[in-house]
Structure 1
Amino acid sequence: MSVSRETERLRAYASLLRKWNPAINLVAPSTLDRLETRHIADSLHLAELAESTPGGWLDLGSGGGLPGIVMAIMRPDFPLTLIESDQRKAAFLRSVVRELSLGAKVLCQRIEVLDGLDAANISARALAPLPQLMAYVNRHLHPAGTAWLMKGRNWRAEVAQARNNWTFDLKPHPSATDPDAAILEITGIRHA
């Protein structure tokens, strides 16, 4: 039985993440045993939701590469940029991109000082509360673009808080791994 190129790359990515995690703390050590069933599965769910989405992709605060590296593996047709301000994490991301022959680019800069990138799609996972995250997204998202924000069980409260300063169209997708979490598909972002 043959294993797909994507499956091989996902396995190699998981192996690299486990190898680097003790030195850099890319994911919480308490969740490392659920790397495939939680972290990677969440990112695969996002890749599935955005399967027919056109345009390039920008992953904010990429950290250990979730969901950015998974998107680069699953959507090699996407021009993909990962932004990570931590030098060590950016080095990890560059190593993964090189070892897995991915077409992604890694920028080691702060999101809030980087010139706007006008991305068609933006993702973020475990980066910041939604009210703060909206400013980052607004800075780098094309006006007709889509933000794909992976949020935990407080996502409803965060959406309510964000609506104090922002208006946007929201389509929540239930998480595949946590019934209380969601992937927020956000479009039409503007200051309230």
Structure 2
Amino acid sequence: MDQTTDRERAARWLNVSRETWAKLELYENRLRRWQRVKNLVAPSTLDQIWSRHFADSQQILAHARTAGGYPKTWVDLGSGGGFPGLVIAICLAGTDTRVHLVESDHRKCAFLRDVARETQAPAVVHNLRIEDCYADVGRVDMVTARALAPLWKLLDLAAPFIEDGAKCLFLKGQDVESELTEATISSSLKVSLIESQVDPQGRLVAVHKAGLDQ
């Protein structure tokens, strides 16, 4: 798949301004440059950056928006190359949103800071293990993660934030049904699946405390 075709495919899903598109182009250029020295994404997906990574990440916004607008504070667990957290931050640049990016690899953190600075994204990078990040991040409205861990582990990692009232949107692949079967879901949680707009086999897993308003 060539880059032009990939961008055309992504344009069907990416509902962003010209300014945001330009920032994503900058992001792509930085990612390709850093990829040479640090494996940020699977090499097999480099020709699908716009659809596989940018559009896949941005679709979370459609499900996070409420009548009151987008969540004000986010935490992205295990941000890696910035998906979905940094894409979300870029798309919400110019608002009073803050997106916390949690990543334990210091070189990946350097990459995230570089792109956040160049795109003026409202992102704060935390070079921490996820298990240790709650004290630094504090209460948030939304928790995200992508390709990080099985669902049972994600729920465990996100538990302190969920307990504080945060909602979660996790990007998962085709194995999510088996992960749901394996996970022990507390009766205090409501878990639902949303079809991916980008990947026919993908799903978004929405999690929040039972009884919490949608």
TM-score higher than 0.5 here? yes
Q: Which deviations, in whole Å up to 9, do the C-alpha atoms of 1:71-126 show, x marking residues without a partner?
A: 00112321111000001100100111111112210000001123342221000001
The share of aligned pairs that are identical, in percent, is 36
Choose the corresponding residue for 1:68, options 82, 85, 103: 85
Q: TM-score, normalised by structure 2?
A: 0.81
Deviation at 1:165, TM superposition (A): 5.0
Residue 158 of structure 1 aligns to which amino acid in structure 2? E
Rounded to whole Å, the distance in 2 between the matches of 1:102 and 1:178 is 26
After the TM superposition, which of the residue ranges 110-119 and 35-44 deviates more from structure 2? 110-119
Tell me the equivalent position of 2:75.
Answer: 58
Tell me the equivalent position of 1:34.
Answer: 48
State the number of aligned residues.
Answer: 186
More strand by share: 1
**CA contact 1:149–1:184 (8 Å) conserved in 2:** yes
Choose the corresponding residue for 1:86, options 105, 129, 132: 105
Tell me the equivalent position of 1:166.
Answer: 186
Where do 4+ consecutive residues of structure 1 move more than 4 Å? none
SS across alignment from 1:23 = coil
Q: Which deviations, in whole Å up to 9, do the C-alpha atoms of 1:120-148 show, x marking residues without a partner?
A: 10000011111111111112335322101
Q: Which deviations, in whole Å up to 9, do the C-alpha atoms of 1:142-172 show, x marking residues without a partner?
A: 532210100110011112222x253421231
SS across alignment from 1:166 = coil
Rounded to whole Å, the distance in 2 between the matches of 1:54 and 1:178 is 24
Q: CA RMSD in A?
A: 1.6
Alignment map for 1:127-146 (pairs within 5 Å): 127-146=148-167
After the TM superposition, which of the residue ranges 61-70 and 175-184 deviates more from structure 2? 175-184
Q: Which deviations, in whole Å up to 9, do the C-alpha atoms of 1:10-39 show, x marking residues without a partner?
A: 111111111111211111000110110111
Tell me the equivalent position of 1:121.
Answer: 142
Rounded to whole Å, the distance in 1 between the matches of 2:53 and 2:114 is 19
SS across alignment from 1:156 = helix
Q: TM-score, normalised by structure 1?
A: 0.90
**CA contact 1:118–1:141 (8 Å) conserved in 2:** no
Question: Can you give the 5+ residue segments of structure 1 that lack an aligned partner in the other structure?
Answer: none
Residue 166 of structure 1 aligns to which amino acid in structure 2? S
**CA contact 1:152–1:180 (8 Å) conserved in 2:** yes
Tell me the equivalent position of 2:122.
Answer: 103
Residue 28 of structure 1 aligns to which amino acid in structure 2? A
| 1:153 matches 2:174 | yes
Choose the corresponding residue for 1:23, options 13, 37, 41: 37
**CA contact 1:120–1:142 (8 Å) conserved in 2:** no
Rounded to whole Å, the distance in 1 between the matches of 2:102 and 2:162 is 14
